[in-house]
């Protein structure tokens, strides 16, 4: 996914959610400064992640995850969104990449980077305090800095909006042959209205991704007919 392909959808997300592009850009620039000023040898780029020819499990932290760990176990690689990374590790399974905007309560992002596991750290308009607090605790050589705005400096944009669908877009960008899903619950009744709207966009974006890939994601079975595709360049 290149930014010129992503940008029209990004603009639709901003318009629908009422978010501020300038805020995303300020967070992006903060993240760039944090990874550059870390004193390390440099952060990761997408080329440092290679899922070519692999079945990649894209793992969310929904209530269904416990029943779907077999999907995770059978995959070649695992890209886990936010709190799902901790859940996967607690089940005794390996996380190959974590995707996060650093809103999880656990310390798993720090632990993973310390072990050399890539963590895609995302900057957006609402998480600048978390970036300032937590990025300096990470091993920057294992950090892939990301944005949903235009890429700048070391901060890249491979597409996606929520941690979960960004994980799918990242796996796609890095060559995954097949994407499988675990722990995705679009109709989770326990989420607040804002999170529910974000899940609606995650569903739409996965639909766009499967159309781009010519693939059918099982997580969307029985749901495609109700997905609003009007904002998608299909």
- Tens-place pLDDT, residues 168-215: 999 999 999 999 999 999 988 888 998 899 999 999 999 999 999 999
Helix (H, G, I), strand (E, B) or coil at 183: coil
Report pLDDT digits (tens) over 100-130.
999 998 899 999 999 999 999 999 999 999 9
Q: C-alpha angle 119/124/199, rounded to 5°?
A: 85
Whether the per-residue pLDDT at 232 is higher than 80: the answer is yes
pLDDT of residue 233: 85
Beta strands at 77-81 and 55-59: parallel, antiparallel or unpaired: parallel
The number of residues in the chain equals 234
Structure tokens at 104: 């999880």
Closest CA to 96 of 151, 138, 155, 55: 55
Percent of the chain with pLDDT over 70: 99
Beta-carbon contacts of residue 11 (< 8 Å; ≥ 6 apart):
21
Query: What's residue 180's pLDDT?
Result: 98
Cα 45 to chain centroid, rounded:
15
Average the pLDDT over 25-42 and give the result.
90
Q: Between the CA of residue 222 and those of 22, 82, 129, 154, 190, what are the distances in Å? A: 37, 26, 39, 39, 21
Q: Give pLDDT, residue 105.
A: 84
Whether the predicted pLDDT of 224 surpasses 80: yes
In this model, does residue 40 exceed pLDDT 80? Answer: no
Distance (Å, whole) CA 76 – CA 13 = 32
- Cβ neighbours of 22 (radius 10 Å): 10
pLDDT higher than 80, residue 148: yes
The mean per-residue pLDDT over the stretch 149-168 comes to 97
Q: What is the mean pLDDT of the chain?
A: 95
Q: What is the pLDDT of residue 203?
A: 96
């Amino acid at each position: 996914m290149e930014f010129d392909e992503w940008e029209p959808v990004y603009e639709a997300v901003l318009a629908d959610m009422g978010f501020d592009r300038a805020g995303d850009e300020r967070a992006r620039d903060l993240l760039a400064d944090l990874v550059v000023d870390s004193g390390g040898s440099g952060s990761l780029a997408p080329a440092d992640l290679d899922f070519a020819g692999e079945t990649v499990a894209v793992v969310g932290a929904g209530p269904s995850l416990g029943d779907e760990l077999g999907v995770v176990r059978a995959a070649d690689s695992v890209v886990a969104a936010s709190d799902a990374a901790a859940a996967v590790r607690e089940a005794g399974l390996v996380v190959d990449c974590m995707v996060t905007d650093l809103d999880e309560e656990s310390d798993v992002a720090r632990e993973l980077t310390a072990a050399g596991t890539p963590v895609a750290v995302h900057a957006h308009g609402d998480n600048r305090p978390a970036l300032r607090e937590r990025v300096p605790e990470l091993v920057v050589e294992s950090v892939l800095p990301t944005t949903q705005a235009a890429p700048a400096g070391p901060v890249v944009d491979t597409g996606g909006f929520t941690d979960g669908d960004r994980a799918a877009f990242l796996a796609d960008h890095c060559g995954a042959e097949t994407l499988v899903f675990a722990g995705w619950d679009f109709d989770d009744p326990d989420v607040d209205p804002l999170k529910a709207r974000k899940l609606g966009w995650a569903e739409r974006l996965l639909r766009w991704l499967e159309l781009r890939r010519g693939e059918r994601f099982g997580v969307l079975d029985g749901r495609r007919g109700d997905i609003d595709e009007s904002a998608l360049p299909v």
